[in-house]
Amino acid sequence: MVTKSPESSSSVLRAQEKSPDVSQELFWMYKKRYLIEKKGITDKIYDQIKNLLWLIWSTPEKTPEPKYDELRLSHIAREYLDKNHTELKWENPDRACLIIYFPGWSKEKSNAKQICIPRTNPDNKTLQVSGFTLVPVPKSNGYNTEYIIKDKDGGLWNQLAILFPAENPKYTRKRLLQEEQILLKKEIIASEKTLSYLPQKKKEERENLGKKIRWLQEKFTQNRPKIDAIWNQERYIHFTYIPYRESLNTEKNRKQGFDYLADTMQKTYEHSVGKKTLWSMRSNISWIPIAEAIPWQYPWILNLIERMDFEVYFDSTGKALKSKDSIDSLMGTQLSKSLTTFWVNTSDAFNWQRSKVWAQGVGQIMPETYQLFHNPVATEKYPNPERKYMPLFPEPDFDIAARDHETSFRLQIAHFDNQIFQFPDTIKKNWKELISSPKTSIGIVALLAAGYNGSMTRIMEEVFGKEYKKSSLDIAECKQKLSVKNIVTAMDRAKERDIAAILETRKQKPYQDKKTKKLVQPPDLPLTQEQQEKIQKRTATYKESMTYVLKADYVWQYLSKKYPDKFNW
């Protein structure tokens, strides 16, 4: 990129063109917007001021010391990357482009630079790029957008914006359709060959095979216009993201993040399905609308606790939870980061996230979960997937749907509504009473959040007992079991019980010693690789479920105190 200087600039500035620097481009974008918006000057006067400042600042003795608005500068950097990404293409699509900023101003350091880094960093490695050392803040999904950046002199640099290349979902769809066409063609040829060898006497078989061939040919023909419609799609699209940094973590930005989420959630509930909205659609508690059965605070809390890493709440052994004060401190830090990131990126916040198991977007939606509501099929897990949800999810491309905040929020609401089936009958009968009380409501949202992350049936069995569907729990007993403390204790007991059952399989039967005639207990067999993996998986599953409950409790308590005017009950 070449930074253009005014026609009347000095030879020093013309020489500066030969060694271009992003900082000048960013500074002038920032200055122009500020002067035009705040001071009401015209473009002509702005050009004159710019010419004058270029001449003054080209003198080494007069180094400027501008004080930037960090968030505004980040948005300017983001705008720059959005507009110039065609100029920033590189041969390797696994690279991302990062604009970094030095908050001080000195003769030795330029104010902003543009560097290319790996798009993902799953091993959390320290990077050495263009004379900078980048230490990643670990992220389990490998999308390390938060780095501690130092130059060779030890100066700390901030991140302004990062440009990610991502595979275009439309291109992916085209590729899948092309692969399907190849398979259809092969099947048509094979079926026609089989038909030619079938004796004329086998009329029924010939007729069935003929129907199959006609169906395959029809599908092959239908796919052609679909491929033509998306033929010119490029393989990669770019999206720009403002990484979190501590200087953006202010009370004002956190409040704005809260308001953004609350406003978007309200729009989600007002989303019309024909002439209906979620306020008027019936929930699976038949006499209550979905919007009343699933209060907006439930999915709202879920989107924050999805951002909080459960692994940091355990001690160095990874088995026991840290002290409550330590956990609360960590949760407070993570919650502040989430609210800040939601505001600085608004509708693009967390859309770049994709987990190892392919959960994607702000709601960490799984492809099969989206398909369940986009095109529902009854299963044992979801016995009554009503078709009422289908109009909420018309988008056929999962990647596009997962990156849209309102679509993600609608899916969470529909998912919670479907999970109501798993609760004991006593709770379902008294649903309105239980969700209207903050104490029991926290327990319900904690269970719904844990069920969204894992198996709702398993969680219900842990908390209410394996025979909870057949047993007749009274309302007082249900209220007791819905306390956060009881839920965590029940999950911990279930974890120990499951691990003990695996360890029990190592024990060998006692035998009678031939000489002493006494029973001898042989030593336990060593754990197999399969058993070790099973224990690790069970432990991780329970740990995550337990922390979802703790996170739901913490976020609820924090927000009800911090923003009582909006987070009311």
Average pLDDT over residues 464-478: 85
Task: Work out the pLDDT band at 38, boundaries 50, 70, 90.
Answer: low
State residue 59's pLDDT score: 44
Query: Nearest 5°: CA angle at 546, between 284 and 536?
Result: 115
Report whether 30 contacts 71 (CB < 8 A).
no
- The residues, any chain, with a CB within 8 Å of residue 406's CB and separated by 6 or more, are 264, 267, 268, 271
State residue 58's pLDDT score: 47
Q: Is 566 left (phi over 0), alpha (psi -120 to 50) or beta?
A: alpha
| Tokens at 203, concatenated | 């009329």
Report whether 116 contacts 95 (CB < 8 A).
yes
Least confident of 36-50, 400-414, 458-472, 552-566: 36-50
State residue 203's pLDDT score: 85
In terms of pLDDT, which residue wins out, 121 or 340? 340
Which pLDDT tens digit goes with each residue over 45-94? 666 666 555 544 444 444 444 456 788 888 888 888 888 776 666 556 67
State residue 471's pLDDT score: 74
Task: Work out the pLDDT band at 442, boundaries 50, 70, 90.
Answer: very high
State residue 7's pLDDT score: 34
- How confident is the prediction for the chain on average, in pLDDT? 80
Task: Work out the pLDDT band at 278, boundaries 50, 70, 90.
Answer: confident
State residue 60's pLDDT score: 45
Task: Work out the pLDDT band at 29, boundaries 50, 70, 90.
Answer: low
Residue 364 CA to residue 356 CA, distance in Å, equals 11
Which pLDDT tens digit goes with each residue over 218-235? 889 988 888 887 777 777
Least confident of 27-36, 307-316, 518-527: 27-36
Q: Quick one: DSSP state of residue 142?
A: S
In terms of pLDDT, which residue wins out, 137 or 40? 137
In terms of pLDDT, which residue wins out, 30 or 164? 164
Which pLDDT tens digit goes with each residue over 347-401? 888 887 777 777 888 888 888 888 888 877 766 666 666 677 888 888 888 888 8
| Radius of gyration, CA atoms only, the chain | 30
State residue 102's pLDDT score: 84
Instruction: Classify residue 338 by burial, with Cβ atoms within 10 Å: 0-12, 13-18, 19+.
Output: buried
Least confident of 272-281, 292-301, 502-511: 272-281
Average pLDDT over residues 505-525: 85
| Tokens at 218, concatenated | 């029809």
Which pLDDT tens digit goes with each residue over 411-431? 999 899 988 888 998 999 999
Instruction: List C-alpha distances in Å: 436 to 224, 305, 569.
Output: 54, 22, 7
Residue 292 CA to residue 386 CA, distance in Å, equals 18
State residue 20's pLDDT score: 43
Strands (E), 210-363: 236-241, 272-273, 276-277
Residue 112 CA to residue 101 CA, distance in Å, equals 4
State residue 37's pLDDT score: 58
Closest C-alpha to 351, from 488, 228, 238, 195: 238
Query: Nearest 5°: CA angle at 396, between 395 and 398?
Result: 90
Residue 302 CA to residue 452 CA, distance in Å, equals 9
Residue 98 CA to residue 115 CA, distance in Å, equals 5
Task: Work out the pLDDT band at 519, boundaries 50, 70, 90.
Answer: confident
State residue 19's pLDDT score: 39
State residue 487's pLDDT score: 93
Instruction: Inform me whether the pLDDT recorded for 18 exceeds 50.
Output: no
Task: Work out the pLDDT band at 259, boundaries 50, 70, 90.
Answer: very high
Instruction: List C-alpha distances in Å: 124 to 118, 144, 159.
Output: 11, 8, 17
